Structure 1
């Protein structure tokens, strides 16, 4: 044998041996690795991350929570043209290969051998990409690639081609937090998949290669190049589109723009409450498992609450006068318009208030530039509320705020210095119908509706009066509106005063409520005992710790939240029942399956004592036994339940106070609106409107809490730093307009709540000066209500008793 043949034979045998060894090694590796591969059949049951959706009771979007935008689409709902675009861009032979594209692999190997590049394109099929996205990292190594290829083969054996393609199209990242082709269509074009044009589908198909750096928003030029020079020509080359379709698609411009989900209900404070409650219930997965939460708020009511609150704050701010420009841009006249617009755009965004820089002023008004709308004209009437003309107020370069009124008029405005909150509940169930925690959630996430502990002032007086009605007082009882001095053991003296510093002498409790007389409330609390009143008032849901154990409690020195006040007023509105505020009506999973649904305990005035009368216990105050007093219910502080849903299917709410007491207090609150400090609320035009104003020392807090129709609502205005709102900013001036604005809208077409007195309540005629009984029909007599047992006592006392003496008294308090 010739030498060269011998060497050839040896090389052949060596190569064969090495090949067999390689095959053996590969078989050994395959034998070892294959059993360790995950069970890919579980991909049929995989749950892709979906955001938490929060919506109103009528199905309007409030918020989406989660890092991912994704709307999974079944493969049969993805248009053929969209599928073709992705197949052309990523894996044209997808329906032909068995998970691995041999041509692509050989091309990648050739590039590795023939070039010095560390990474080469090609070789990864759609199946391999799915395997990598679900099971592997993006590490670039031969080991990872080998596992990816094995997984692809295994997936092709376990899953159908359509199942794999569906996983791919719903999993891939498109930049801007959009995952899946449906979310990408929504974000970049504001369209559903069936609404996409050929050019738009091709644009989306070109994104996954470089989702962050070459999407049509971050880098439109590069995205257009990939669409026009790769995806569309590739579709034509593969016979997926005609030459005419190619030409038309190439001519279509880039129309992509950010399309965030349209929020239809302005309720960010409520949305945050839902997020916290869901995380407490389901953990961190609550934001990624596609839960849909339906809240109790109604979109129209919530939007009306936001509008009323902002209007009230703007009105208050105008009363306090113009504070001057928010800023100033030097040499504004010499700057280009685009540079000037950028500087204006850097000012913080405020709801309903646009930042604008003054360009020039004149007799007819002022010309300004805004970042979004360009040049605008402010008419002279737009500064009328300041008492000065635009030329007197402004100069070129000043940065100010502009507000557009409902009729389109542009007016000068400024950021409110005060804050406000509004809570509205259905008094029968405790369902939150509207909740606003401040002027702007974006500026400050502190929820004043549920977190701000503020003094309620005179709006707390109805609870003191209710406690007195349990101790034999009634609306016609006479209490002195006269000076009183209290001294403690240390010699400190307290001289409570009425707001105007005057004294009215003997006064019926009904009239004292209408006129909000402080001295009557103080004397009344002193008469019934602080400890008794404190224990009684906890039945409205207040914690004992929140109620000061002294006579100042009668003037509203407790620290309470607007939510707590609203829940407590619901007891008067619903006939004496304690309902728990709640805001989540239903929780569904990603498939629409209802996981939990609210079944609140309801107030039921027609049910008598059913629903859990509070157990009695003796009340001993300062050594005196006042007999039985209802045991306080478990206090929740008046906050909306932190658990997502309240307990109790079809249960009745527990009774908090006597139905007769609730009726008498409610009738007095109706009088406060008819002829007292809440008279402005008569503008709503309903006879069932009642409530109480509240103000605190130095005008730090302004309140109005009340009811009407099926709602009980509280509005509060104050400053976060507890400084004064300004002289004269009472509850009836600062808070009541917000309450009126909301209730006027919320009670539209709601039937008037007319209710008869409950059993055991007697309608009587009394002497308005003395509170004594008069024969029915007596001229000058007034009709009022008393409990049956109190009526018997009044009869025993006789008709027409004398007027009490009017004098100042001093008391020692310990």
Structure 2
């Protein structure tokens, strides 16, 4: 092709391309127009994929719910399921003290449940219960918004009644996302398998209302003393209001809080059309609540007993009955004695043991509801002069006797100078008086003499397990101990010196009556000899008869000891009579001084008030204070000759034994013709040689040998 032809061809091609470009730029009436923006394309893709994923999620959720529904137990099984273990605690006479753990009452069918009760529960817990499928989308959306914004505008929780039932039946209270997801699946499974009426029936018979009460019937009996099918609208409002916080709104713990919560429930019932405005204005404060008789002080004892079940029983979840040593009458008397005698602003505690260590009464404070801290078993306090029990026990074991003379005089031990409470010294006195009047200087001298470690060891023998210091001041009770330990020690003296162990459980039985545990009485040997027990009982009795414990006199023999710490921070009296040992402590929890508090006053008075009741049906027992000392304590130089010398054998200057009434000439038993104690041959053989000539006697007529002889000591080998 020529050059001119190539130019024309190229020009034609460029023109064709330009024409094509112009055609593409020109509007096309029959075409689709320009492509959409990219964001629209991605939105379309997200919608498609999101729909697909949502559909897949629905399918997975439906499969999970269907699988969960197929795995759920049947209705009868769910009805029979009981969470937790019921424990009934009984007194020594078999009467019920308290029921701990779940209490279920009677099962009520949906038709038997009062309509006011179902309406109250739905109104306050789940107002869309009858329309949702187990999970409330409105609540769930609100929860999501709250999570993003941090708002707290919602009045209710996210869990529906069905979700709460699922949690109570199958899950725990963990607030994790995993638990919430499983809760939602199980709730929808419950809705799939059971009707709304069945779900509500299960819920109202199993939900927890506090105080161990599960289900509305148990709650109604606990709080109002009648079954749930008799609930009034105001009573139903009180019970429905408990679900949110059973301990906070319990009518037995805070009546005003329970009433205020019930008013909220009534307002919601009116708002949702269940009751009229007139019905919503009922006087909730007029509801008659069940009196919680005996629950105030007896709970100190049951709180102490229950943890012991973990030790004495194998693991079991069946209902059990615990038979205890507590005497209901004595417990009431102990409670009254503490309430009547404890100084204002102070606390009081009492422990009473039978002669074998069985706890008859225990009071851990003046008001269990106000403070459940058990001062009888947990509080560590200085015992003051009550500790002198161990000082004098050690002294008696070391050889002292109650009538031995001691001297009340100023004393200093390792830089420590104790003084008496009255600031005076009486000089010479006896051990009995020093103990009865709690003379500190004498106790310090005795403790120093026998050894402070010996005193601590004596306390250990009688059951004191708390830390004991061995500084000189320990003899006056500077080491802190528990009330129950001191009572245990005094009970050992009452038990003739055999250390006792406090116990509160005699047996445990299962649901069918079989015995799961029975206490065996451990045999123990005396911790101190009989004469020590007699001596210390003598001293303890003197302390009540003539000493600091005179206020503890109850008209029959009592042995005991007072205790008062510095600045009147603690007051004690511990004693025993007719086999019952009781200890009383009073003081403030913050260890501040209590004006006028002394062991010989309020504590001794409370002891007497209780013991008069405790021993009234027991025979009067006199104390055995006769000292039968062991041979090593009999003084060898305290000998006396009784009768006439003529009635005794005795040895003359030559070693000859003279028989009674045999005297030479009838006058001189030491005369030259007195008979020899042994023959000369025997004496020579015994001494290993011939007797000196000046000791030999001329032969004389043989005489009959005496009936007894005193052989000479054989020669050493």
- Please, which runs of 5 or more residues in structure 1 have no aligned partner? 1-23, 91-103, 119-124, 233-248, 315-415, 600-648, 758-783, 801-814
Q: 1:501 to 1:665 in 2, by over 3 A?
A: same
Conserved? CA contact 2:207–2:243, under 8 Å = no
CA distance in 2, matches of 1:126, 1:698: 59
Supply the distance in 1 between the matched residues of 2:513 and 2:200 (Cα, whole angstroms).
Answer: 26
Is 2:663 aligned against 1:737? Answer: no
The equivalences for 1:379-778 within 5 A come to: 416-428=344-356, 430-476=357-403, 478-486=404-412, 488=414, 492=415, 494=417, 496-497=419-420, 499-507=422-430, 509-543=431-465, 545-550=467-472, 552-586=473-507, 591=511, 596-597=516-517, 599=519, 649-682=520-553, 684-687=554-557, 689-726=558-595, 729-754=597-622
**Which secondary structure does the structure 2 equivalent of 1:786 belong to?**
coil
Partner of 1:303: 332
Pairing 1:789–2:627 present = no
Task: Tell me, yes or no, if the aligned pair for 1:175 and 1:215 is still in contact at 8 Å.
Answer: no
Q: Is the 8 A contact 1:664 1:785 kept in 2?
A: yes
Report if aligned partners of 2:313, 2:517 keep a CA contact under 8 Å in 1: no
Q: Deviations over 1:77-123 (max 9, x none)?
A: x4897258599979xxxxxxxxxxxxx88x999x99xxx999xxxxx
Using structure 2 for the length normalisation, give the TM-score.
Answer: 0.60
**Is this contact kept in 2: 1:270–1:435, CA < 8 A?**
yes
Report the Cα distance in structure 2 between the residues aligned to 1:685 and 1:143, rounded to whole angstroms. 70
Stretches of structure 2 that go unaligned for 5 or more consecutive residues are 1-55, 121-129, 144-159, 250-257, 642-717
SS of the residue corresponding to residue 449 of structure 2 reads helix
**Residue equivalent to 1:269:** 300
* Higher normalized strand content (fraction of residues): 1
Which one has more relative contact order, counting CA pairs under 8 Å at least 6 apart?
1
RMSD: 5.5
Correspondence 1:218 to 2:59: no
How far is the alpha carbon of 1:539 from its aligned partner? 0.7
Question: Do the aligned residues in 2 keep the contact of 1:571 with 1:662 (CA within 8 Å)?
Answer: no
Give the conservation status (yes or no) of the 8 Å contact 1:127–1:155: no
- Give the Å deviation of 1:748: 2.2
Change (3 A) 1:199 1:420: closer
C-alpha spacing 1:595/1:481, structure 2 compared with 1 (3 Å): same
SS at match of 1:474: coil
Superposed CA offset, 1:29-85 (max 9, x none): 87776455534155365223467665644566766767xxx632454xx48972585
Q: Separation in 2 of the partners of 1:208 and 1:553?
A: 53
- Counterparts of 1:554 and 1:510 in 2: how far apart (Å)? 17
Three-state SS of the structure 1 residue aligned to 2:628 is: strand
Bigger Cα Rg: 2
- Alpha-carbon shift at residue 663 of structure 1 (Å): 3.1
> Could you say if the C-alpha distance between residues 538 and 73 of structure 1 is closer, same or farther in structure 2, counting changes exceeding 3 Å?
closer
Match of 1:386 in 2: none
- Number of residue-to-residue matches in the alignment: 541
Select between 743-752 and 444-453 the one with higher mean Cα deviation.
444-453
Change (3 A) 1:192 1:255: farther
CA distance 1:751–1:223, shift in 2 (3 Å) = farther
Q: CA deviation at 1:570?
A: 0.9
- Aligned twin of 1:317: none
Written as runs of structure 1 = structure 2, the 5 A alignment for 1:72-151 is 72-73=104-105, 75=107, 78=108, 82-83=112-113, 134-135=169-170, 151=190
Give the distance between the partners of 2:266 and 2:237, measured in 1 at CA. 12
CA separation of 1:708/1:173 partners in 2, compared to 1, >3 Å: closer, same or farther? closer
TM-aligned CA distance change 1:518 to 1:147, over 3 Å: closer
Quote the residue 2:657 is aligned against.
Answer: none
Q: Tell me if the contact between 2:65 and 2:188 (Cα under 8 Å) persists in the aligned partners.
A: no
Please report how far the alpha carbon of residue 418 of structure 1 lies from its aligned counterpart in structure 2 after TM superposition. Answer: 3.2
SS in 1 for 2:348: strand
What secondary structure, in the 3-state scheme, does the structure 1 residue paired with 2:405 have? strand
Q: 1:668 to 1:80 in 2, by over 3 A?
A: same
Quote the residue 2:50 is aligned against: none
Aligned-pair CA distance for 1:170: 1.8
In the alignment, what sits opposite 2:639? 798
Deviation, 1:423, is 1.8
Distance 1:459 1:30, change over 3 A: closer
